[in-house]
Amino acid sequence: MIHALFVLWFLSIISISCSGESPRNAGLEDTPGVTASDTDANSDGDTDGYSDDDSVFDGNSDSYSHSDTDTDADGDAGVDSGLQADREVRLVIEENADGFCSVDGTVDADNSGFSGSGYVNTDNELGAAVQWSVAAARDTTISLQWNFSNEGTSARSGLLVVNGITVATVDFPVTANWSSWSTAQQPKVELAVGNNSIRLQAITSDGLANIDSLTAIGFSISVGSCAEADSDTDTDADAGTNSDSDSGGETLAFPGAEGFGRYSSGGRGGEVYHVTNLNDSGAGSFRDAVSQPNRIVVFDVGGVIDVSERIVINRNIYVAGQTAPGGGITIYGNGIALNGDSGNDIIRYIRIRMGKNGDSEKDAVSISEGQDYMFDHVSISWGRDGTLDVNGTGIDNLSFQECIIAQGINNSNHSTGGLMQSGTWSVIRSLYIDNKTRNPKARGSHEFINNVLYNWATDGYIMGDTSGVSECNLIGNYFIYGPSSSSNTHITNTTPTFYLYAEDNWVDSNKNGVLDGSLMTDYKTATVMDTPFDYPGVIERLSAQAALDHVIDHVGASLVRDDVDNLLINQILSYGTEGQIINTEDDNGILGNVGTPANGTPPADSDGDGMPDAWESARGLHPGSADDTGDDDHDGYTNIEEYLSCIVGDGNISCP
C-alpha cells in the first residue's frame, strides 16, 4: 500500500513537470477569479515565496509552524487539499467570482481599464460595504490589496472589518479619473482557520471608491465560502452596548470609549510616527506627524510646541499624547482644524491652547467636515471665535469625553465655549469653564451626560435657539454659577422644538463658596420627554455630585496637569468665588502663559514600533522586530493600541 502511494505521488510530479507548469503555481489558474504570482513578495531577494527568517519563531526559517494539530477538522493532522498550505499564494478575487460575497451597490463596466467582468460601485452613503471571503488552512497573517479608482473630490476611505472586528481604515485617495486605477493595501491582516469575512465599509456619505478586485497574499489561503463567512459576521452597531466589542462585532476606539464617536479606529494598523522635537514644522514635528493619513502618533518629547499657523489633522490618525514623557504636550499659539481631509481620528491627552496670537475669528479646535471623531482627555482653551466648534456639513459621530473647554478669550467681545450643532454628538464627563456664552450652543441629536459648567457669563447651556428640531438627553450634569455668571442663565434660548429628556441635573446659583445646589426642575420652554432618546449612553452613569468629583480628579490632559488646568480646577473648588472671563491668556498671570511643562526621557524602543522594549518583552513580543500592527491576544486591538491603553489604564488593560 505504501509502495503504491509512492508511485502515484511520483507519477503526479512527473505529470506536472512534463506539462511545463511550475509545481509552485500548479492548479491555481483553474480557480475562477484567482491567479498566482512569482514575484518576490517578501523582498528577500528571491521569488520562492518564503521568508528567510524564522517568522513563526519555531526554531527554523521555513515560515511554517510545525504543529501536528488537525487544522482543517477532517480527522487528521494534514491540510485540506483545497487550501494552498505549502506555498505563498496570491489570490485575485474579481467581482462575481468565487470569494466575492456582496456589494451595497452595483457591478458596473462603464469605465475602462478594469480586469475581470467589471468593478463594484457602492451606493453613495455612509456604511455602504463590499464583502469577500478568504479561507485559511491555519491561523495566518496575510496582506491585502485593492485595485481602485476615485474621481471624487476627496478620499473615500473605508473601515476594514475582518470576521466582524474592525482592524484598520483603508484610504482610497483621489485618482486622475474613473478609468485611472491605483492600488491601496493593508500589510498585515490576521486570519483564523476556516472561512474569513473581509469587509470594507464606507466611513463617508460618498461611499467607497470603485473597487476592481481584492488581492490576498499569504500562505495557506484560498477563496472562501461566502455563506459560512456571512453566518459569523454582524457588523451592525448596537447603540446601546458599551463593551470592547459590541454585539455587532465593532471594536471601540479604546476600552472605555463612549458616545457617538466610540467606534473611531484612528490609525489602527497604520504607520507609527515618532514626534522627536518641539519644532513648528519639519521632520519629527507634530505638524508633519498629522499631515498624512493612517498614522499612530507617539511622542518622544514633552513640552510646549509653539505654532504660528493652524494645524490640520489628516484622516485615520491616533494622536497618543499619553506617550509624551515629562509634563506632556501643549500646542500653543494657534488652533487645530479638522476638515475635508480629516475623519476617523482619535485625539487623546494633549493640550490645545490657541490664544491672542492665533488667527482672528478662528477656533481653538474647529470641526467643519468628516465623521467619527473621538476626543479623550483633551484640554482646549483660548479660542478667538469658538473654543470648540462643531459646525459644517457631512459631520457625524463625535465624542468628547473627559475634556476641558475653557476661557474663550474676550478681546473682541466673543468669548465662547463654542457651537455644537452638526451631526450626532456626545459630551461626557467634561468641563466648560470661564466662557462668556455657548457652553455650548447645542443643536441636533446629542447627549450631554455627567458634565460640569462653571462661571459662564451671559449664557450657560444654549438649548437650540432655533425653530429647527433638536433631541437631547441631558443627564447628571452640575451647573455652578461663578463670579461672572448672570442670574437665571444656566440654560437659555430654549424653544418648544428642543425635545429634552432630563434627569438628575443640579444647579448651584448662590456663589457662596459652598456646594449646596438643588435639583433642576424648570427647563423653560423646552419640550420635556418622559423617556430618553435611544443614544449610546455611558457604561456607568454617575450622579451629578459624583460627576463633579470625577471631573475635578480626571478631566483634561490629567496624566500631568499643567498650570492652566490646575488654575481652572481650583476655580471650581471655590464654588462660586473665583473665576473670570479673560480678555487674553495674559490675564491668568501664569509664566509664559502656558507654564513650563517638563520634557523627559522616553523609554527605550529599539525597533521604533512605538512600544517600549521592556513592555514588549513582558508581553512576549520581540523588541528587535516591529510588531505594532499585530494582535497577539486576538481582541481586535493591535499590540501598540494595547500599550497606549495600558499607559492610562483603559478598561482592564494594565502595563506589565
Is 561 marked active-site?
no
d(CA 554, CA 544) in angstroms, rounded, equals 15
Q: For residue 163, give the amino acid letter.
A: N
SS3 state at 287:
helix
Collapsed DSSP state (helix, strand, coil) of residue 448: strand
Question: Across 95-177, where does the E strand assignment appear?
Answer: 100-103, 105-108, 119-122, 129-136, 140-149, 158-162, 165-170
The values of phi and psi at residue 226, to 5°, are -70, -35
Distance CA 101, CA 226 (A): 5
User: Which cell numbers hold the place of 328?
Assistant: 506632556
How large is the angle between the packed helices 544-554 and 563-573, nearest 10 degrees? Answer: 150
- Cα separation of 345 and 321, whole Å? 13
Neighbours of 603 (CB within 10 A): 12
CA dist 243 and 123 (Å) reads 30
Environment class of 596 (CB within 10 Å of its CB; exposed 0-12, middle 13-18, buried 19+): middle
Residue among 348, 351, 384, 438 flagged as catalytic: 438
First and final CA of the chain: distance in angstroms? Answer: 56
Can you give the length of the chain in residues? 656
Between CA 330 and CA 336, with CA 331 as vertex, the angle to 5 degrees is 140
Residue for grid cell 504570482: 37
Total Cβ atoms within 10 A of residue 113: 13
- DSSP H or E stretch at residue 10: helix 2-18
Point out the residues that are catalytic.
438
